[in-house]
Amino acid sequence: MGRFATGVTVVTAVAGGEPIGFTCQSFVSLSLEPPLVALAPAKSSTSWPRMAAAGAFCINVLAADQVGLARAFASSGSDKFAGVEWSLGSLGAPVIGNVLAWAQCVLELVHDAGDHEIVVGRVADLGTGEGSPLVYYRGTFVRLGDAVDLPAAAEQVAPIATDRALGPT
Ligand SMILES: Cc1cc2nc3c(=O)[nH]c(=O)nc-3n(C[C@H](O)[C@H](O)[C@H](O)COP(=O)(O)O)c2cc1C
Task: Dump pLDDT digits (tens) for 25-72.
Answer: 999 999 999 999 999 999 999 999 999 999 999 999 999 999 999 999
Which residues are paired to 93 by β-bridges?
A: none
Does 27 fall in a domain?
A: yes
CA of 42 to the centre of ligand 1 (A): 7
How many CA within 13 A on the CB side of residue 32? Answer: 0
Q: State how far the Cα of 75 lies from the Cα of 92, in Å rounded to an integer.
A: 23
Domain span at residue 143 reads 6-166
Ligand 1 within 6 A of CB of 41: yes
Closest C-alpha to 123, from 61, 30, 3, 24: 30
Q: Is the pTM of this model over 0.75?
A: yes
Specify the number of domains making up the chain: 1
Distance of CA 105 to CAs 40, 80, 161, Å?
14, 21, 39
Ligand 1, atom 10: closest residue by C-alpha: 41
Does 1 fall in a domain?
A: no
Ligand 1, atom 5: closest residue by C-alpha: 24
Q: What is the pLDDT of residue 157?
A: 56
CATH number at residue 65: 2.30.110.10
